[in-house]
Structures are given as structure tokens and as C-alpha cells.
Chains A and B, each alone.
Chain A
Amino acid sequence: MNVSPDLLSEFTRTLSAQTSDELPQRLCGAFAQVVGADGAAITVGSTPSARSLLAVTGRDAEELEDLQDMIGEGPSLRAMTGEGPAVLDAHAADTITVWPGLMKALLDHTTWRPPPALYAFPMRPQKSVLGVLTAHQHDSSGLKVGLEQAQFLANAIGVAVLGDFGSGSATNERWLARDRVSQATGMVVAQLGLSPEDALAVLRAHAYAHDAALSQVSSRVVDRSLRFAAPLEEGPS
């Protein structure tokens, strides 16, 4: 694979111009900018149960990940299998047959017209997939760099993400405890007596129905402004 050294130096330049304090956040923003996308998301983990959102550039990127998790299909999930980049191009003829559920949800979505294109890259610096980097683009004009080049950056970002994990955050007990979505899941387990899987599905469905991100709904459950109890009683979205 030929990767231009310019791409790498552009990436490191863009990275140093990012203002966030969080490394994953800076990597995510720099990636979106360098590949010419409107936004991006980094998820870590290579099984559906482990998959966790690490960084997003904004609301759209987050909702696009939530949507794929809820529907259980999409490029981000496909990329976890490690077979290479997975692309959803709303204009391609076979998209509706490859991802029927996701395409329907994207077409139904009121604020995304036309549906955005999704480019998902497994972060795979060595043999195994560490997570997925997904970029989206609203006008589907195509990425500024080739898929191979973007994949190469995704692998390099995987090394940096893993280094950040290894430097202590993954073993830090406070980090382990502060997962809003899981806390909200636990609260719904207690409220409704459901399994964690079903409780998470309730949260996802609520987020989808109210056009909100899963993380927002979770925060409202944790700060007790939203409560699920039989009979279902919902606060204003």
C-alpha cells in the first residue's frame, strides 16, 4: 500500500490544531477533517456487547452510531468483522438490500435529507480489530482521500487509542464507574425488572422515538428527570 507522507503530516498538523483535552476527541476531529467528512465517531470494542462510544464530533455522528446499534446493522457494525472498510452510499442501487432496516430509518429521519453517506473503517493496527472509526458526509460527494489511505489513518489512530487506554484509563476505577449509558441501563433494570439487554433496548427505543441521542436519554435517567416505571411515565423529551 502506498500512503503519501503528506497525508500523515497533514494528519499530525490537523491533530495539533484540535482544541479538545481528550485525545480520542482530537483524533476523531482530525480524522473527519483530513478525510473531508462532516463528522466522525470512534467506537472501541470488537464485539457488539463490548462496543462503546469513545468520541464523536457532534450530535449527528452520535445519532448515526446509536441508530446502527438500535437496528443492529450498518457499516460500523460490519467494519467490526475486520474485512475492511464498509460504506453506505444512499445512492447505490444495492444499499436498500444490504441494509434495509438502516436505510429505512435514514430515509425516515426528518433532518437528514438526503440520507448521509457512511464510511466505517476497522481500527486494526495488527491482526485484531480494536474498534471502528466511522465518518459521515451529508452531501455524499465522496471522501477527499481514498479508502485505503483513510484505512491507514484509522489503523494509526487505533495505536494511539490503545496507547491512551494502556496509559491507565482502562484500569482506572473511576473511569470504569462512569459510564452513563450503563448506569441508566442499571436504573431501568431496577425500575422495570428487565434484563440489562432489554433495559438498554428500552433506552434506545426511547431515544429514537424522541429524536435524542442515547447518551442524552441516559443522562436524564441518571439525574432522575426521566423515569421508566409501570405504567410507563415519561418526562417531556
Chain B
Amino acid sequence: MNTRSDIGMAIAAAARTMHQPRTLDETLQTIAEVARESIPGFDHVGISEVHQDGKVETRAAAGDLVLRLDELQHSLAQGPCVDSLHESNVVVAPRIRHDPRWPKYVPRAVQLGLKSQLAVKLYLNSEGTLGGLNLYSTVSEELHPEAEMLADVFAAHAAIALDHAHERRSLNEALNTRKVIGQAIGLLMERFQMNEDRAFAFLVRASSHSNLKLRDIAQELVDEGNVK
């Protein structure tokens, strides 16, 4: 999501799924459908969620192959969806019939008509893996050059939808952490007449020596600095 037109598309895409408050499943279903309309070449799009116990559930499906292909990968424990959840964030599989990475999955999937596949992990900051956006094509062997970027946009939005309980907590936490670290740096700058870079390096060193998180070290310093 770097260029300006991407941001515009992200906003347009997000906007189309936000017309009114609705249930999570409806939101995810809309994201899957809009993704299928917007990402060239993919005619089956699904969104899956990873539960606490590691089980993967298909939460939304646009296209009738989604459920079968999702299930096939999870029962065989192989395929682009599985890899995207466990290893890399994005797994790109054009011309999948020639792909040697998933010897058990590929022949069965090709039999169902699969030509290419794209799997994107859904995650948000430190919250870990939330699920996956899974795109299947029975019409195109090659991936459109913009498909991966567009998929990222939809994945970001699906992640937000899945994570709405966490999003606010993690954002507020990040902001509070930032404040405490800033205060600790200011304190060090004043007390030891250091510049900002030295103060920051000092904090990082203190954190690695004591095995405490940067935030906790900073909090301790600020709490102590309080009593002059």
C-alpha cells in the first residue's frame, strides 16, 4: 500500500463494505465478494479464520469452490493457504499444475479446475495470525500484475474486521508505549545532558542488559524520575 492510487483503492474498497453496521459474517462476505469483483483473474475468493486451538474455519466464500479447496488444503495440511498461515505472509502460485511444492494437494485441486492461486495471511501488528484471504482462479494460469497488491488491501480490511476487538487495544497500547518511551528519553536527556540519539541508545542498551522490554524500562525510569 504505497502509491497514492493504492490508497485511493483501499479507501474505496473499505468504503463499499462499510455502508452500515452489520454482523461480522456479513462484513466478511461483502469483503470476499468485492474482492472477487475487484481483483482480476480470481473467480473464487474466501476468508478463513484461525481459532485459538489452531483450527481453521472458512468464514466467507464467494464462489462454490472455496469451501472444497479450503478443506482439501487443511485436511492434507498442505497448499498455499497452509503455507501462508504458517510460513510466509503471501504465497503466490501461478500455473499451479506445474508447482512441485504441494504434491498431494495440486493433482486434486487441478481436477476441480484450479489454474492459479494466491493466499494472503491476515494479521494485525502483534496480534498474530488471524486468518487468511484465499483467492482461487479457474480461468487464468497467470496472475495479474496488480493482483497481489490488491489482495493486500482486502486482506488489511478483512484483518481489521476480524480483529475489531483487538484493534483499539493495540492502537492505544502503541500510543501509550510511545508516550512513556518519549518521556524516558526526555528524562535522560535532561538528567545526563545527552542528545536524543544517545538517550535512545541508552534505553535500548538498558533494555537488552536487563532483559526488560523497552516500555517497562522507560516506565520505571519515569516513575523514579518523579521523585526528585
Assembly CA distance A220 to B20 (angstroms): 46
Task: Decide: B183 and A176 in contact? CB cutoff 8 A.
Answer: no
* 9 examples of A-B residue contacts, CB within 8 angstroms: A45-B171, A45-B172, A46-B172, A126-B27, A166-B124, A182-B185, A183-B189, A186-B187, A195-B226
Q: Which residues of B contact A181 (CB under 8 A)?
A: 182
Task: Provide the A36-62 mask, 1 if CB < 8 A to any CB of B, else 0.
Answer: 000000001111011110000000000
Known A-B contacts A159-B160, A186-B225; the reply to A128 vs B167 at CB < 8 A is yes
Distance (Å) between the CB of A217 and the closest chain B CB?
Answer: 13
Task: Decide: A166 and B182 in contact? CB cutoff 8 A.
Answer: no
Task: Decide: A130 and B226 in contact? CB cutoff 8 A.
Answer: no
**Is A23 engaged at the interface, CB distance under 8 Å to the other chain?**
yes
Distance (Å) between the CB of B185 and the closest chain A CB?
Answer: 5
Distance (Å) between the CB of A141 and the closest chain B CB?
Answer: 27
Q: Which residues of A contact B174 (CB under 8 A)?
A: 165, 170-171, 176
Assembly CA distance A126 to B161 (angstroms): 7
Q: Give how many B residues have a beta carbon under 8 Å from the other chain's beta carbons.
A: 58
Task: Decide: A157 and B168 in contact? CB cutoff 8 A.
Answer: no
Q: Chain B: interface secondary structure?
A: helix
**Is A145 engaged at the interface, CB distance under 8 Å to the other chain?**
no
Assembly CA distance A52 to B181 (angstroms): 14
Interface residues in A1-43 (C-beta closer than 8 Å to B): 1, 3, 8, 11-12, 15-16, 23, 26
Assembly CA distance A179 to B11 (angstroms): 28
Q: Which residues of A contact B161 (CB under 8 A)?
A: 126
Distance (Å) between the CB of B179 and the closest chain A CB?
Answer: 5
Known A-B contacts A156-B11, A159-B14, A176-B178; the reply to A130 vs B171 at CB < 8 A is yes
Task: Decide: B125 and A171 in contact? CB cutoff 8 A.
Answer: yes
Task: Decide: A16 and B11 in contact? CB cutoff 8 A.
Answer: no
Query: Which 3 A-B residue pairs are closest in the complex by CB-CB distance?
Result: A186-B186, A182-B182, A193-B228
Assembly CA distance A160 to B2 (angstroms): 11
Task: Decide: B19 and A3 in contact? CB cutoff 8 A.
Answer: yes
Q: Which residues of B contact A180 (CB under 8 A)?
A: 182
Q: Which residues of A contact B42 (CB under 8 A)?
A: none
Q: CB-nearest residue of chain A relative to B159?
A: A166
Task: Provide the A60-83 mask, 1 if CB < 8 A to any CB of B, else 0.
Answer: 000000000000000000000000
Task: Decide: B189 and A182 in contact? CB cutoff 8 A.
Answer: no
Distance (Å) between the CB of A189 and the closest chain B CB?
Answer: 5
Interface residues in A184-198 (C-beta closer than 8 Å to B): 184-196
Task: Decide: B160 and A189 in contact? CB cutoff 8 A.
Answer: no
Assembly CA distance A155 to B67 (angstroms): 32
**Is B4 engaged at the interface, CB distance under 8 Å to the other chain?**
yes
Task: Decide: B10 and A159 in contact? CB cutoff 8 A.
Answer: yes
Task: Decide: A165 and B14 in contact? CB cutoff 8 A.
Answer: no
Task: Decide: A189 and B225 in contact? CB cutoff 8 A.
Answer: yes
**Is A201 engaged at the interface, CB distance under 8 Å to the other chain?**
no
Contact pick for A186, options B21, B125, B168, B183, CB 8 Å: B183
Q: CB-nearest residue of chain B relative to A179?
A: B182
**Is B191 engaged at the interface, CB distance under 8 Å to the other chain?**
yes
Assembly CA distance A186 to B185 (angstroms): 7
Task: Decide: B1 and A130 in contact? CB cutoff 8 A.
Answer: no
Task: Decide: B189 and A222 in contact? CB cutoff 8 A.
Answer: yes
Task: Decide: A126 and B226 in contact? CB cutoff 8 A.
Answer: no
**Is B7 engaged at the interface, CB distance under 8 Å to the other chain?**
yes
Q: CB-nearest residue of chain A relative to B15?
A: A156
**Is A119 engaged at the interface, CB distance under 8 Å to the other chain?**
no
Task: Decide: A166 and B156 in contact? CB cutoff 8 A.
Answer: yes
Interface residues in B115-142 (C-beta closer than 8 Å to A): 124-126
Assembly CA distance A127 to B19 (angstroms): 13
Q: Which residues of A contact B177 (CB under 8 A)?
A: 176
Interface residues in A93-137 (C-beta closer than 8 Å to B): 125-131
